[in-house]
Structure 1
Amino acid sequence: MAGARRHTLRDIAAALNLSVNTVSRALSGKDGIGEKTRARVRAEAERVGYVPNSVARSLVLGSAMTFGLVITNPSNPFYAQLISSIELRARTHGYSLLLMVTDESEENETRAVESLLRSSVGGSIVVPVQASADPWRRLSTVGVPTVLLNRDLPDLGYRFVGTDNELGGYRATEHAISRGARSIVVLEEDLPITTIADRIAGFRRAMAEAGLSVPRGSIMRVPTRRHEQAALPWQPQQAYQVARRMLRRARLPDAVVVGNDYFALGLYRALEVRGLKVPDDMMVIGYGDHPYSAFLSPPLTTVRLPAEEVGNIAVDLLLEEIAGGRSARPLKQLIAPTLVERESTDRTTSGRTSSAAKNDSGMTSR
C-alpha cells in the first residue's frame, strides 16, 4: 500500500497564496518575515504534517545518528551531570549529541525546535520551559521521537523520566522534623515550574503528616536570576538578602529547607552575620548535593539527585522510541533522590570537629 504523499513547500505556499521563498524563510526562522506571516506558515505546516527534506530523508534512511538535547540551564550542576551521562550513554550506541540551551525562554524554545527539525536529529531529549506544549508537539507531528526530562508536559503523552522532587521535598522536611524541628521555612526560587511546585508539595505533606501547621510566610521566594540570563548559576547573594529578611522575625524557625545548595551558601552567611550558628540556632537542609556541600562549615545535609540514572534511562527510552518498540517500562518514571545526612542538622556533634567533618566518607544516607 502506497504511503500518503508528502506535502512540500509549494503546497503550503499555494494554500496561503505566498511565494515558496517566503514559506521557506518563515519555516527556517530567517529575518525579513513578519510574525503574522510566520505564524500562518507554521500553522499550515503543522496542519499538513510538513517534513523538511533533510528530516524526511534521514528518517527514511535511518541515518540520523544524532540526538538533540535541549535543556534550560547548563550551569545547574544537576543538568551538567545529566549532559555528561546522556552523552556517554548515547556515544556507546553510536550517537552524538546536539546540545541547545533555552535559558527558560519560550522564544528560545521555539528556535530550538526549528533547529532540531533542520538538523535531521534521530530523536530528542528535552527539558521543557513548561510555558506551552505547542513547540514540542511539532516534533511528534513530523515523527521525531521525543523523551521529556525532569519536567513533564502531560498533554503530549510523551515518555518522561525525572527526579521525584515531591519525595525529595518530603524527605528533607521529614528529616528536619525527626531532628526536633517544629517550625520550618522553605527558601525556593521564584519560578513557576513543576520541580519547585513538587518540592513544596512534599514539604506540605511532611508537615501535615506530623500535625504541624504551615503559617503564612513559611514559603519564601528567592527572586530568580533566570529572568535576566538563565545561563548564569544561582546567586547566593539573592538567597542571602531573603534570609536576612527572615532573620528579622521575632521568632526564628527551627530549620530552613532550601531549594538548591547555592541558596544554603547565602543562608549560612546571613546566619553568620547575625552571630547565629548552624545547627545550634537553626538547622539547614539543602537540595542537590553540589560538590562543595560536604566542605561547608558545618557540612551540609542535603538531597542528592539521581542525575546519572535519570540520564541513562532517558537515552534508553529514546532508543526504544526510535526502534518503534515498547518495553515493560512505565510511560512516566520518577527516580527517588537520596537524603545525605551531615552536620548541618546534627546537634549532637555541633561545637566540635567530628569524623564526618574530617572525612565525608563517613556520611550516612537514606
Structure 2
Amino acid sequence: MTLKTIAESLGVSVKTVSRALAGKDSVGEELRSRIRAEAERLGYVPNSMARSLVSGAAMTLGMVITHPANPFYALLISAVEERCRANGYSLLLMVTEEDLETEREAAEALLRWGVDGAVVIPVQEGAEHWQRLRDSGVPIVLVNRGLDGFECDFVGVDHERGAHEAVSHLIDTGASAVYLLEEDVPFSSAADRRAGFHRALAERGLPVHDGTVMLVPPSVRGRRVQPWEPGAAYECAQQLVSGIEPGAAVLTGSDYFALGLYRALSERGIDVPGQVTVIGHGDLPFAAYLQPALASVRPPADDIGARAADLLFERIQGSTAPASNIYLAPELRIRASAGGDD
C-alpha cells in the first residue's frame, strides 16, 4: 500500500494524504480522520527510507553499550527505545564487550549508517573515534561513564553519592568497620563508588587499612572482559571473611559480588545480618529473593535512559546549549541484610 493507493481510494490528492498522516494543520480534522482510518484499513506502513530521503535524516539513533547481560543496560535500552518510538525513530544497538577495537568499529559503523545521534557507554580508553563521529555532525550523549577531554552531554548515576549513603547507613546502624568489595576496572563508575566509600569512613572517623578495600579482577575470555563474576568475588571474599570481625559490614560494587560474599560468609558460619551486614549495588531482580534479602543501591536506569534520549533529540532539533553534565541520585533499598524488615 502506498500514499497513492489511499489517495485514489478517497478521491483526494497524494499531497493531502501525506499532510494528513504527518499531522499537518493544513488538513481538516474530519478529512484527517477519514484518511487515517483508510490507511489503517488498507494496512499502510510508512516507508522510512523514503521519508529519510525527503527529510535528510536517517530517523535512527545509535546506541553503543558494553555488556548486553547487564540488567542496568537492559533497562537503559528499553527507556531509549521508548523515546525513539515516541519520536518516530528507530534504534540501532551495538555491543563492544569492553573492547576498544570493537568500539572503534562501532563508531565507524554508526558513521556509515548516518545515524542522527548516538547514546554511548564508552570503554573509556580513548575518544578519537567518538570525536570523529561528532565532527561529522552526529550529536553524542555519554551515559554512566565520561571521557576525559571529550566535551559532550553526559547523563549518569551519582555513584559517589550512592556509596556514601550506603556506608553511612551501615555505620549509623552499628557497623564497627566497613569493607568494600569492588570491581578492579579503570572505569569512572567504580572510582566514584570508592570515593563515596572513603568519604563516608573519613566523616565518621573509621580507619582505612590494608584489606579494607578488596578489588575483584574481571574475567577475560579472548578479547572480552567479563565483570561482575560471582566466582571471582567469592575467591576475594574468602580472604576477606577469614579475618572479618563480628559487627563489621561489607559494601559490594555489584549484587553479583554479594552472591560470592554470601557463600564465603555461609561457609565460615558467619550470620547475615546477625554478625555481618551487607549492601550490594544494582538492586538486581534476585536481590529481594536471597536469604536474607539483599539491601542494594538501585540506579535510576529508566530515568537515565529517558534523559539521555531527550537530550539527544534536543541536539538533533538544533539545540546549541552548553553541554549538560547530569548525575541522577540512586535509591538505597534497605532489606534484611542491612537490618531491614524484609
Is the shorter-chain TM-score for this pair beyond 0.5, marking a shared fold?
Answer: yes
Supply the distance in 2 between the matched residues of 1:229 and 1:270 (Cα, whole angstroms): 30
* 2:312 matches 1:331: no
Q: Is the 8 A contact 2:183 2:227 kept in 1?
A: no
Query: Which of 335, 338, 341 in structure 2 is aligned with 1:345?
Result: 338
Question: What residue in structure 1 maps to residue 38 of structure 2?
Answer: none
Q: Is the 8 A contact 1:184 1:253 kept in 2?
A: no
* 2:290 matches 1:292: no
- 1:220-231 → structure 2 map (5 Å cutoff): 220-225=214-219, 228=222, 230=224
Deviation (angstroms), 1:225: 2.0
Supply the distance in 2 between the matched residues of 1:260 and 1:229 (Cα, whole angstroms): 22
Deviation (angstroms), 1:182: 2.5
Deviations 1:161-197 (Å, cap 9, x if unpaired)? 0000111111111111111112111001111100000
Q: Give, as a single letter, the amino acid of the residue that structure 2 aligns with 1:217.
A: G
Deviates most, 205-214 or 228-237: 228-237
Question: What residue in structure 1 maps to residue 69 of structure 2?
Answer: 75
Q: 1:260 to 1:71 in 2, by over 3 A?
A: same
Q: Give, as a single letter, the amino acid of the residue that structure 2 aligns with 1:333.
A: I
Deviations 1:73-128 (Å, cap 9, x if unpaired)? 11111111101111111111111111111111110111011100111111101001
Question: What residue in structure 2 maps to residue 195 of structure 1?
Answer: 189
Deviation (angstroms), 1:260: 0.5
Question: What residue in structure 2 maps to residue 106 of structure 1?
Answer: 100
Question: What residue in structure 1 maps to residue 298 of structure 2?
Answer: 304
Deviation (angstroms), 1:229: 6.2
Question: What residue in structure 2 maps to residue 125 of structure 1?
Answer: 119
Deviations 1:258-316 (Å, cap 9, x if unpaired)? 00101111111111111111011110000000001001111011101100000000000
Q: Is the 8 A contact 2:234 2:264 kept in 1?
A: yes
> Equivalent residue of 1:265, what SS?
helix
Question: What residue in structure 2 maps to residue 360 of structure 1?
Answer: none
Task: State the TM-score, normalizing by the size of structure 2.
Answer: 0.81
Supply the distance in 2 between the matched residues of 1:290 and 1:220 (Cα, whole angstroms): 22
Q: Is the 8 A contact 1:75 1:231 kept in 2?
A: no
Q: 1:278 to 1:123 in 2, by over 3 A?
A: same
Deviations 1:10-65 (Å, cap 9, x if unpaired)? xxxxxxxxxxxxxxxxxxxxxxxxxxxxxxxxxxxxxxxxxxxxxxxx79943211
Supply the distance in 1 between the matched residues of 2:68 and 2:291 (Cα, whole angstroms): 27
Query: Which of 156, 162, 167 in structure 2 is aligned with 1:162?
Result: 156
Q: Is the 8 A contact 1:236 1:264 kept in 2?
A: yes
Q: Give, as a single letter, the amino acid of the residue that structure 1 aligns with 2:331.
A: T
- 1:21-36 → structure 2 map (5 Å cutoff): none
Q: Is the 8 A contact 1:69 1:126 kept in 2?
A: yes
Q: Report the RMSD for the aligned CA atoms in angstroms.
A: 2.0
Q: Give, as a single letter, the amino acid of the residue that structure 2 aligns with 1:139.
A: L
Deviation (angstroms), 1:226: 5.0
> Equivalent residue of 1:283, what SS?
strand
Deviation (angstroms), 1:215: 1.1
Q: Is the 8 A contact 1:78 1:307 kept in 2?
A: yes
Q: Is the 8 A contact 1:68 1:125 kept in 2?
A: yes
Supply the distance in 1 between the matched residues of 2:246 and 2:215 (Cα, whole angstroms): 17
Supply the distance in 2 between the matched residues of 1:159 and 1:59 (Cα, whole angstroms): 28
Is there any run of 5+ residues in structure 1 with no aligned partner, and where?
Answer: 1-57, 357-366
Q: 1:208 to 1:224 in 2, by over 3 A?
A: same
Deviates most, 226-235 or 179-188: 226-235
Aligned length: 291
Deviation (angstroms), 1:249: 2.2
Deviation (angstroms), 1:205: 0.6
Deviation (angstroms), 1:336: 0.2
Q: Give, as a single letter, the amino acid of the residue that structure 2 aligns with 1:220.
A: M
Q: Give, as a single letter, the amino acid of the residue that structure 2 aligns with 1:206.
A: A
Q: Is the 8 A contact 1:59 1:122 kept in 2?
A: no
> Equivalent residue of 2:332, what SS?
strand
Q: Give, as a single letter, the amino acid of the residue that structure 2 aligns with 1:320.
A: E
> Equivalent residue of 1:177, what SS?
helix
Q: Give, as a single letter, the amino acid of the residue that structure 2 aligns with 1:321.
A: R
Bigger CA radius of gyration: 2
Is there any run of 5+ residues in structure 2 with no aligned partner, and where?
Answer: 1-51
